[in-house]
Amino acid sequence: MKKFDFYIFSVVTILAFASCKTTRTVTNKTKTTSKTTVKKTTNKPTFIDGIEVTPGTTVTSKHNTNNSKSKVEVKKTNPDPNVKNWNIEKANWLQLKYAIMLDATVERLTNIPLLEKMEEWWGTKYCLGGNTKGCIDCSGFTLMMMQSVYNILLPRTAQQQYDQSERIDVDELKEGDLVFFGSSKRHITHVGIYVTNNKFFNASTSSGVIINDLNETYWKNKFIGGGRVVK
């Protein structure tokens, strides 16, 4: 019996030892499998320094495929070469308003007294021979505007204003020039003040003091020409 007991004890000991070794092996594999390698990625945004964008400029980027760096150019795009150092933040509210109405850039409307006078008379009714804010006709309006804004005295009628002015082509028109309409050079029936972008201020028979366009069919068919009056 003693030999049998010793045999049983030996077998149990061997099995226990084998079991512990297997457990350690499985545990080591589990630990090895559970290890995770974490890589830190730093995708920081890249900013282009030293570039200042101001009104009247555009920024264009030229990329070189052989180089990771980009070249940036700032080009001056002032629409009016006669206007220097323009700052739209300093624009008068009338400049902003009439730029929309005239379909023009704000920096072209530099004559504030002209805009103020137009705003003052806007919508005044038309009446033949009138020269007050109660009602006014076309030549009375141009007479008043030219005298108030440009200190130029005109004769009273549209025909007289045409006869006194210097003839200029339509592509030479500038702010303050006169635009004349009628059936002929000897029969001028309407006059207005050119502003910009084919637009002119005038006292029309249908709408009173308003802005019109030389390209409108009605005015285009009656347009005789432009005139310039100097002091």
Could you list the active site residues? Answer: 138, 190, 202
Region for 87 from its dihedrals, namely left if φ exceeds 0, alpha if ψ lies in -120 to 50, beta otherwise: beta
| DSSP string over 135-161 | EE-HHHHHHHHHHHHH-----SSHHHH
Q: What is the largest CA-CA distance in the chain?
A: 151
Q: Which tokens in the block code for residue 127?
A: 């009446």
Q: Which residue has the tokens 């005038």?
A: 202
Contact 72, 61 (CB under 8 A): yes
Cα 157–chain centre separation? 40
Q: Which residue has the tokens 């945004």?
A: 45
Which amino acid makes up residue 29? K
